[in-house]
């Protein structure tokens, strides 16, 4: 299945299924707090894989003018509605990042919440971002890494050994829709960029789906969320997380 088809099917209930999940909100608020100092109305900002405009209220709160692209027709429709509702000044285009040819260069390029995991042509994507990034620009990639301790534990506990092997060793997950999710590590970004900083998000917390379905996961989150926040900027990459935020700059 192609990414555009998959995300077309997700677009309708993306907000209720995903954006409103408290552990997604937690991770997004961490990403926003880290992003904020890099943003101002003078900066050219590109939101890659904007989905239904999940970050548009954040951009609006900072009075930004941004550009946004997405590969999915349905996500683009939802993003246009969200932009209009918020009165956000945004140019929205339907494009895969690897094929995107903008008329400006960007100070900040954001791939939030697993956009990169849906991309298989990582080298072409990195090359395109390199081309469209301003000299002093920064790239923010929020990526599902190969290891998330809670997901691995659940896979082993419920005998999903193939899932565990595929993600941890092959760096791939195959969804129910037969879509391949790629779990990238910073080594793959380092070919093109310098990795300036990294934050492991939800490294000691469950995934948003586990949080939704298991009372134990919710109790655990309550107990350890503050510790997770403190660990995020200091844990080594191999400790993993539900997502890792990578901040990249030009070589």
CA–CA gap between residue 123 and residue 133 (Å, rounded): 15
- Per CB under 6 A, 72 contacts ligand SAM: yes
Residue numbers 5-64 binding ligand SAM by CB under 6 A? 7, 48-51, 54-55
Q: How many residues bind ligand SAM (CB under 6 A)?
A: 21
Nearer to ligand SAM, 6 or 220 (CB): 6
CA–CA gap between residue 61 and residue 230 (Å, rounded): 26
What ranges make up the beta strands (E) of the chain?
45-48, 65-70, 89-94, 106-111, 133-143, 172-174, 180-182, 193-201, 243-250
Nearer to ligand SAM, 84 or 162 (CB): 84
Residue numbers 127-146 binding ligand SAM by CB under 6 A? none
Nearer to ligand SAM, 20 or 153 (CB): 20
Stated length of the chain: 251
CA–CA gap between residue 237 and residue 185 (Å, rounded): 8
Nearer to ligand SAM, 100 or 224 (CB): 100
45, 92, 96, 248: which one binds ligand SAM (CB under 6 A): 96
- Per CB under 6 A, 200 contacts ligand SAM: no
| Maximum separation of any 2 CA atoms in the chain, in Å | 52
> What is the closest distance, in whole angstroms, from the C-beta atom of residue 71 to ligand SAM in the complex?
4
CA–CA gap between residue 123 and residue 140 (Å, rounded): 16
Listed residue (246, 173, 140, 150) closest to 6, CA to CA: 173
Which window, 80-88, 109-117, 146-154, 188-196, contacts ligand SAM (CB under 6 A)? 109-117
Which residues make up the interface to ligand SAM (CB under 6 A)?
A: 3, 7, 48-51, 54-55, 69-72, 75, 96-97, 112-115, 118-119
């Amino acid at each position: 299945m192609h990414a555009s088809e998959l995300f077309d099917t997700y677009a309708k209930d993306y907000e209720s299924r995903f954006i409103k999940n408290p552990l997604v909100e937690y991770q997004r608020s961490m990403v926003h707090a880290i992003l904020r100092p890099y943003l101002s109305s003078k900066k050219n900002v590109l939101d890659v894989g904007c989905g239904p405009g999940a970050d548009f209220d954040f951009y609006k709160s900072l009075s930004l003018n941004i550009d946004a692209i997405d590969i999915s027709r349905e996500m683009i429709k939802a993003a246009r509605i969200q932009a209009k509702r918020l009165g956000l000044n945004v140019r929205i285009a339907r494009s895969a990042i690897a094929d995107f040819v903008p008329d400006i260069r960007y100070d900040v390029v954001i791939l939030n919440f697993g956009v990169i995991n849906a991309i298989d042509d990582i080298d072409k994507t990195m090359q395109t971002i390199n081309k469209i990034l301003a000299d002093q620009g920064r790239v923010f990639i929020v990526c599902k890494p190969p290891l998330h301790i809670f997901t691995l534990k659940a896979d082993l506990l419920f005998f999903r050994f193939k899932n565990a092997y595929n993600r941890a060793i092959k760096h791939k997950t195959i969804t129910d829709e037969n879509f391949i999710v790629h779990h990238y590590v910073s080594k793959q970004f380092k070919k093109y960029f310098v990795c300036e900083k990294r934050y492991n998000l939800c490294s000691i917390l469950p995934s948003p789906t586990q949080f939704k379905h298991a009372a134990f996961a919710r109790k655990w989150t309550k107990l350890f969320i503050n510790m997770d926040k403190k660990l995020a900027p200091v844990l080594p990459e191999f400790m993993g997380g539900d997502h890792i935020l990578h901040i990249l700059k030009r070589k």
